[in-house]
Structure 1
Amino acid sequence: MSEIPRDASGSAPLNSEDADTTRPSAARAYDYYLGGDSNFPVDREFGDRILERVPFVRDFARTNRAFLRRAVTWLCERGIDQFLDIGSGIPTVDSVHEIVQRSQPAARTVYVDHDPVAVAHTSTILDHTDPDRARTGVLRADLRGPAEILHAPVTTELIDFTRPVGLLIVATMHFIAPDDDPRALLAHYRDALPTGSHLAISHLTLDGVPEQLREQGRDLERMYARTPNAGYFRERAEITALLDGYEIVPPGLVWAPEWHPEHEQPNDPATTATLAAVARKP
């Protein structure tokens, strides 16, 4: 990845005028868990409180990034050459467009996030790697507005919905409240995809995790409930229901480290508290 331009202090420029620097952001806190510097003091203070009470969050962030990389690579190997990454967050090493363009130089990627800093940083990177936006684009929008995302000019210019699409919704659905009807939201996206498209998804759960982590998870929910990005753990059955209308490819809905692992897995993959799957639209 091309490095984000730095100021004289070496810090990445947080130059989005729309950024709220008074309250922590889920995208910026996630960046902090991953060791990034695209965050504000309020995000770091919040992240430190989270890590003190819920130390598995750092492993959760790394586990999700690793799953995203493996899932995108797997999809590329099966001929998918256009990706819609919703809830893409702040770019880090091996972003989606970098992975896909290594094997398919003409592959196209649209990043979508509602956090202004995530969008600003993505735009800065793309200015250096694809200034004409011939293969990549970024959109500030919310997953809860599928029509806005699917019909945005940047989406329709880069994504051909007559050919299979890789839809990426990784570490995002657990920020969708029950009242927002997550099953209906994902059905809206599914119905817009052509046959042969795939959805890659990961989601936090407390179903089947060790009891100590269940207590930490409940703390995590309470702490995020006081931010603009409340989070929700879901049971395995609820996450499976989000995949209605798809065929879940092997190995199924599994703990994230178990999905096509490349390295030695943790002794108990349930300690990641993250279920993941890739599913195909028939």
Structure 2
Amino acid sequence: MPSSTPARPKLDTTSPNMGRVADYILGGKDNFAVDREAAEAAMAIIPNLSLLWHEGRRFLGRAVRYLAGEAGIRQFIDIGCGLPTQGNVHEIAQAVAPGARVAYIDNDPMVVVHGQAILQDDGITAVIEADARDPEKLLAHPALTEIIDLDRPVAVLLFGILQDITDDAVAARIVQGLREAIPPGSYMAMSQPVSDLSPESTTEMAVMYEDRGAVEGPTRRGGVRSKAEVDRFMDGLALVEPGLVYIPWWRPDGPIIHGAESVWVVGGVGRKD
């Protein structure tokens, strides 16, 4: 009798993958020649792209360490994870709280295949193919509910994914759906480039994301939003100090070398009371 289980897609090494591109920019080894070529081309267009990626991972690290440490969170859902890359959520969270559970979510089958290939099957970490545009279905995915108990506090991470959702109404519905589904005591953390200080560079970055398959909205505005527009995504949450700020200023653990003029990405963490 033939198996009813669909065949897993093979790892594609002939087309660039955004996660592997980021891995190369961040100094990792889980990438191929096509990814390195794409990364160099992207950095030629946006010279400070490497800085943005590095600062973004530093912010992710500080946010996850806060959540696993001071906030006491033991469950994480990383949506739009873009594996493989460097400084992953499970590595950071489990260094603070061994046994912390992490569900990585991405709608790119290649990201999921590569993530499943490089992550250990340890029963507390999973890589799941699902779409953020359907929060209810995402949170009900059996591979997620196998390791994440949604009756207990959880941290939902939206690092850099909302820029892919170019329709503001859809982006707001995603955030609202996730916020309403998680129990009190849970957190949401997010980051996104904003157009306030460097509109031309932000637009160039948005075009790059569109080229790699960002979700188009009716006006195809590339996910370019102002800080005030991103602020509204945090409505209904109690913001952790210092609020939604340019990411170098979010609880820095050392001197701030690069300011907002170079790192035009905002981020923050909010608690559901």
Normalised to the residue count of structure 2, the TM-score between the two structures is: 0.86
Structure 2 residue 42 is the aligned partner of structure 1 residue 33 = no
Structure 2 residue 121 is the aligned partner of structure 1 residue 136 = no
Give the alignment partner of residue 135 of structure 2, picking from 146, 169, 172: 146
Do the aligned partners of 2:59 and 2:248 also contact (CA within 8 Å) in 1? yes
Counterparts of residues 182-221 of structure 1 (less than 5 Å): 182-207=171-196, 209=197, 213-221=198-206
Q: Distance in 2 between matches of 1:280 and 1:45?
A: 40
Quote how far apart the aligned CAs of 1:125 are: 3.1
Q: Distance in 1 between matches of 2:202 and 2:248?
A: 19
Structure 2 residue 39 is the aligned partner of structure 1 residue 50 = no
Q: Distance in 1 between matches of 2:127 and 2:269?
A: 23
Unaligned runs of 5+ in 1: 1-14
Q: Distance in 2 between matches of 1:197 and 1:188?
A: 14
State the SS of the aligned residue for 1:269: coil
Q: Distance in 2 between matches of 1:136 and 1:267?
A: 33
State the Cα deviation string for residues 101-136 of structure 1 (Å, max 9, x = none): 223222211111123333223223333xxx3x4211
Structure 2 residue 104 is the aligned partner of structure 1 residue 119 = no
Give the alignment partner of residue 265 of structure 2, picking from 265, 274, 282: 274
Structure 2 residue 173 is the aligned partner of structure 1 residue 181 = no
Quote how far apart the aligned CAs of 1:40 are: 4.1
Structure 2 residue 149 is the aligned partner of structure 1 residue 160 = yes
Q: Distance in 2 between matches of 1:85 and 1:255?
A: 21
Quote how far apart the aligned CAs of 1:100 are: 1.9
Q: Distance in 2 between matches of 1:75 and 1:232?
A: 27
Q: Distance in 2 between matches of 1:122 and 1:226?
A: 22
Do the aligned partners of 1:195 and 1:281 also contact (CA within 8 Å) in 2? yes
Unaligned runs of 5+ in 2: 1-7, 216-221
Relative distance call for 1:263 and 1:136 in structure 2 (3 A) is same
Residue type matched to 2:256 in 1? Q
State the SS of the aligned residue for 1:218: helix
Do the aligned partners of 2:30 and 2:84 also contact (CA within 8 Å) in 1? no
Query: Which residue does 1:258 correspond to in 2?
Result: 249
Do the aligned partners of 1:162 and 1:194 also contact (CA within 8 Å) in 2? yes
- Matched-pair identity in %: 36
Quote how far apart the aligned CAs of 1:274 are: 0.4
Do the aligned partners of 2:187 and 2:269 also contact (CA within 8 Å) in 1? yes
Q: Distance in 1 between matches of 2:168 and 2:187?
A: 26
Structure 2 residue 118 is the aligned partner of structure 1 residue 105 = no
Do the aligned partners of 2:188 and 2:270 also contact (CA within 8 Å) in 1? yes
Quote how far apart the aligned CAs of 1:237 are: 1.3
